[in-house]
Amino acid sequence: MRTLDACPACRTVLLPGQQRCLRCGAAVGDPTRACPDCTAESPPASRFCGNCGRDLDRKGDADPEDAADPAAGDPGGQSRPADPARGPVPLADPGVDPERAFLPLRAPGPGRRGLRVTIAAVVGVLCAGVVALAVVRSVAFGPEPTIEAYFTALADRDAAAALRALNPPNGDQPAEPEPPRGDGEPDSGEPGDGTLTSPLLTDAVLTADGYQPPGEVRVEKLETVEREAGNEAADGGDDLTVATVAYTAGGERFTATLVLEPAGRTAGLFPRWRITDGALSTLRISADGTEQVLVNGVPVGWSDAGGGGGGRLSAFPGSYTVSLPDQPLLAAAPVTAAVGGRGAEVTLATTVRESARGEVEQAVKAYVDRCAASTELSPDGCPFSSYTFYTVTDVSWRIETYPTIAVALSRDGKQVRVTNTRRGTAEATGTARGFLSPTQYRDSVSFAVTGTARVEDGKVVFQPTGR
């Protein structure tokens, strides 16, 4: 059975080898030798001071602790002086060496310390590299730089650079061309399906004075969206990103939702992004009585915009000016359209020029004169004719009065109609041959002229009805 030592003054439990009480500071345990130079205490068997290294056995130096040995009256060293109140206190187990009860700490050697420093440095470099890679991937190779490049290209009026944001060249393989549209429908306004052939997606339109690129562009939100089943990326990689982008165009504020997807990888590590939806808008144009308009000065025909009296064209965000080509028949005030979001619609209020009536009258007169030059009683494609049972030779026509006409847009707005307000008269003459001798033939007829007028090669052309 092992017993514990206690301080003779305050009865606090002592640890093996403890020299002073931790509570009251009273000296306890085995006697020690005090160094005459530094007064540091050392075990009785010590020959040198553990603090300053003095030889404790040097002659001529008195050791005050040797004069009185508290254990001299106790040859066995098994008990301390008795406490009058509690009796003798057993000493620690004599088999425990106080000097070896607590092992001294050993400072790590230089080799071990260097290894630890090296390992810590390597781990730090790896962590910093992972963080730096994540930052570079997010900042330099995330979807936001693609959005910035798209709107920067529009600000620079560079259509080719803007289209590269919709279908960028792959760093690992060539980009696939967009499939052409084959259903004859107008452009949908989104990348793919032939919309990249729209005449508005060109440098000629963007560099013209009528175009103003979007401004005050701000990415308001980026959100990652999981791909639908069966629509995974070719490399099995990143999900889609949906970006909410705000900008101004033509003084109006627009908000667009752009959808981006990875389009290959750079160096096989960093994703390249492309905008698959929301980048392009549409410009719908309608203008009565014409088959062609100008968008920022660039001619656009209805065959480019879906046919009919107007059509829809894919367009970059921005402001456009739509007008009529300079012609003698129709006129319309230019219209500025702000294109963004779901698109814009422009209707040119076309009217027949005041000077166009005279142009059309000249065209109608030329048509009637060509008919009057015929030597037939019923000229082909003409508004007048004469009929008789006799055979008439040497036929000649003379216009007595020309018809009076009116020029206006048709109700459906697709044509410039020419209508008759007062009929004209024409006289046919010739030689009639019958059963008797030849006689002079003379016949006066009235006629009306109707049809449409259009412009060909900068001139007004009359097209008669049914001809």
CA distance 89 to 271: 80
pLDDT of residue 185 exceeding 60: no
With CA atoms as reference, report the closest residue to 350 among 296, 302, 414. 414
Q: Output the pLDDT for position 90.
A: 46
Q: Output the pLDDT for position 333.
A: 94
Where is pLDDT greater, at 156 or 173? 156
pLDDT in tens, 210-232: 999 999 999 999 998 887 655 55
Mean pLDDT across the stretch 446-466? Answer: 90
Ranges 107-116, 140-149, 261-270, 361-370: which has the least confidence: 107-116
Q: Output the pLDDT for position 126.
A: 60
What percent of the chain has pLDDT above 90?
38
pLDDT in tens, 376-408: 999 999 999 999 988 899 999 999 999 999 999
What percent of the chain has pLDDT above 70?
69
The domain locations on the chain are: 143-277, 282-352, 356-464
pLDDT of residue 33 exceeding 50: yes
pTM across the whole model: 0.58
Measured CA to CA in angstroms, residue 1 lies from 4, 30, 82, 92, 466 at distances of: 10, 21, 20, 11, 134
Confidence label for 337 from pLDDT (cuts 50, 70 and 90): very high
Q: Output the pLDDT for position 335.
A: 95
Helix axes 159-166, 143-155, angle to 10 degrees: 160
pLDDT of residue 440 exceeding 80: yes
Q: Output the pLDDT for position 73.
A: 44
Where is pLDDT greater, at 155 or 229? 155
Q: Output the pLDDT for position 140.
A: 45
Mean pLDDT across the stretch 251-274? Answer: 80
Q: Output the pLDDT for position 88.
A: 47
Confidence label for 115 from pLDDT (cuts 50, 70 and 90): low
Confidence label for 320 from pLDDT (cuts 50, 70 and 90): very high
pLDDT of residue 92 exceeding 50: no
pLDDT in tens, 323-333: 999 888 899 99
Q: Output the pLDDT for position 271.
A: 72
Confidence label for 82 from pLDDT (cuts 50, 70 and 90): very low
CA distance 416 to 63: 135
pLDDT of residue 165 exceeding 50: yes
Tell me what the pLDDT averaged over the chain comes to: 77
Q: Output the pLDDT for position 270.
A: 64
CA distance 174 to 193: 19
Kindly write down the DSSP assignment for every residue of 150-198, as one continuous string.
HHHHHHTT-HHHHHHHHSPPPSSSPPPPPPPP-S-PPP-SSSSTTGGG-
Q: What is the 3-state secondary structure (H, E, C) of 242-290?
A: EEEEEEEECCEEEEEEEEEEEEEEECCCEEEEEEEECCCEEEEEEECCC
CA distance 43 to 387: 156
Q: Output the pLDDT for position 305.
A: 54
DSSP structural state of residue 98: G
The domain defined by 143-277 carries CATH number 3.40.50:
no
